[in-house]
A and B are shown apart, each in its own frame.
Chain A
Amino acid sequence: MYKESTLSVQISSIVQETEHVKRFTLEIAKGKQLPRFSGGSHISTYLETPKGLLVRQYSLTSHPDDCSHYEIAVRLSEASKGGSRIWHQSMKVGDHLQISYPKNHFPLSFKARHHVFYAAGIGITPFISMMQELRDKGQTFELHYASKSKQYCSFYEFITQHYSEQSHFYFSEDNHRIPTLFLENHLVGTHVYFCGPETFIEHFVKAAKDLGYPKKSVHQERFSPPQLKRVKPFKVSLKSGNEIWVDEKQSMLDALLQHGLNVPYSCKVGRCGTCELPVITGDIDHFDFFLSEDQQNAQNCILPCVSRAKSDKLVMEIK
């Protein structure tokens, strides 16, 4: 099976940040260095479980130039398929694990004149390193951060200590919510960034679109694959003549991998484009954020990690 190159790290500290969030510090062996990273970067963590390897992505919340350790913050998700549960319940100080090199699917815009971050809940994490980078470069930014309450607000202390002038908090317990109205008042040249639950992102992306924001000024980071609304099973027909069944509970990529096909992949949320495959016939339902609109409309390639078939069958160019 395809596997990317990884770094070997050890958990050196665990901090209970809030009731549901723990921060983990990951250190590399003495004498070695971790790669620097850019604001908004994440890593994949590889967790060994009795059921196999679990790969989960987390934003890096440490300083981008700190090569001695990385930090991630993990929220225990009720809908956890195992990743956050293992992090919270099984991982201990001293444990070793493999992580990917840093990757960035949520980079800061180069041309933006001003950056505005909208975060909800654990969606705060990518903004921690992004704010650091902007401060180092002397660029302007503001943060609007929604959480249930001060008590449940991750990085509250850190943010008020370092970015008090730029930050605004909205606690739903106090009936405070971030109004999308804010989007109306940003100066031309402002780029907006959304990170949080799917509904939060959708709400703000739609508001920005309705206001006429240029598409390239709106940035979003999803922690989970987009919600699929029209999921149905389908068949994949290969060049060899073999057919693979993809049921409604699994991704096409997982089905192909399970059948021993050597499909390279990386992010598994339709971002990086690594798993792109050519399609000969069949209607494709694209759910990725990688292919351009034209490429999607051409209906001749698919990112199987998130996209599926509208038709009953996809005929593929792969063996």
Chain B
Amino acid sequence: MKWTGDLAHFPYPFKDSTYRYSNNSIPMKQPFCIEVTPSYKKEMLLKRKLLSDHPERCYQSLPHSITGQWEIVELLIDHLISQYPQHFSVEKENNSWIFFNKILDEKVEFIFGDENSLSCEPLFFISHHVQEDLIYMRQRDDDLYLDAGQLCFPANWSLAFNIGMKFKNIHHPIPGFKEEGLDQRILQFLMRLEAGTPWERLNWSLMAGDRLDTSLETFDQWGKLRKHVTRENAGELVHIRVEVQKLFRLPRTNSILFSIHTHLLSLEQLSTNREWLQQFYEILSELHAHIVEYKGISHYKASLMHYLEEQLERVKAT
């Protein structure tokens, strides 16, 4: 099955011809934490299968996150119905809610705030209706903790490993993040996030293959593809993976919702845009070795550069 998205909707992540780690967050123009793309049905099918087959890998929560989970349900339903009224609606009578998902032809009745009225936790329920992965960071005693999350499409990390961890501990593996003091600044930035002013950022990496579920737990299945990249197959095999990450302050629990929408594009498709091809080549050419390593590119960087050079020559010739 192909997960590659279409070119027109692809959130191309680069502005300059160099790339460094930074807090590249910007205030959102359209304050919605979810997006329904043409691959909604296909992705929901995959997501639901993962959630049911591997719940421990895809879903984690601490008991004190329930109020925050309801807050996420309220925010997501509000955003779904206001942005996609043709696809989603809700009927509320006091705390009795009936949620309609018209794309999947489903109706869910529950009592808002009453956990027993759903067959699962509130975050688990709403996860079945959005393409995004949803991470709940609770602000407690001047730090942020990962207190609940639904993660089906991770870029090589493990929710089960990170549950309950502090922000800085979660980001410990990023090279240079701590040394440059970025972890502290971003933590402070997150803790001063305010309701009503959501932010978004794009994160990117490269991968061999087109799997959305690249969890740390399944590395044995997808990691080995890195060794199969050649200059001949790089265009088809290597994909740029872009995460649209959105940050919302949840005022009821003074916490943060971090939503991640993952998009994949083969380099073949990326190369059809001349400017992107040129810029992406320049970025990879001068990318620091520790970032190349962290983003998992080192195994096949040489083949990749050959492929991109060929593409650039082809473009110049036409």
Contact = CB atoms under 8 A, between A and B. Distances in A.
A297 to B, nearest CB: 14
B302 interface: no
A102 interface: yes
A35 interface: yes
B254 A101 contact: no
A123 interface: no
Contact of B251 (A4, A38, A290): A38
Contacts of B64: 110
Contacts of B142: 216
Contact of A100 (B139, B140, B141, B196): B196
A110 B140 contact: yes
Contacts of B141: 109-111, 216
Nearest to B70: A36
Nearest to B252: A36
B192 A101 contact: no
Interface stretch (A163-171, A229-237, A266-274): A266-274
B104 interface: no
Interface in A116-142: none
Interface string B243-257: 000000101111000
A216 B64 CA distance: 21
B71 interface: yes
B251 A41 contact: yes
A260 B139 CA distance: 35
B194 interface: yes
Contacts of A290: 188, 192
A265 B108 CA distance: 42
A273 B192 contact: yes
Interface in A153-197: none
Interface in B150-199: 188, 192, 194-197
A304 B306 CA distance: 51
Contacts of A272: 192, 194
A240 interface: no
A97 to B, nearest CB: 16
A4 B252 contact: no
Contacts of A273: 188, 192
A309 to B, nearest CB: 23
A35 B195 contact: yes
Interface string A258-286: 00000000100000111000000000000
30 contacts: A4-B194, A4-B196, A4-B197, A5-B197, A7-B196, A35-B195, A35-B251, A36-B252, A37-B252, A38-B253, A38-B254, A64-B252, A101-B195, A101-B196, A101-B197, A101-B249, A101-B251, A102-B195, A102-B251, A103-B194, A103-B251, A107-B254, A109-B141, A110-B138, A110-B141, A111-B140, A266-B192, A272-B192, A273-B192, A290-B188
Given A41-B254, A103-B194, A107-B139, 6 more contacts: A5-B197, A100-B194, A102-B195, A110-B140, A216-B141, A216-B142
Interface of B: 31, 64, 71, 138-142, 188, 192, 194-197, 249, 251-254
Which 7 pairs of residues, A with B, have the shortest CB-CB distance?
A110-B140, A101-B196, A101-B195, A36-B252, A38-B254, A5-B196, A273-B192
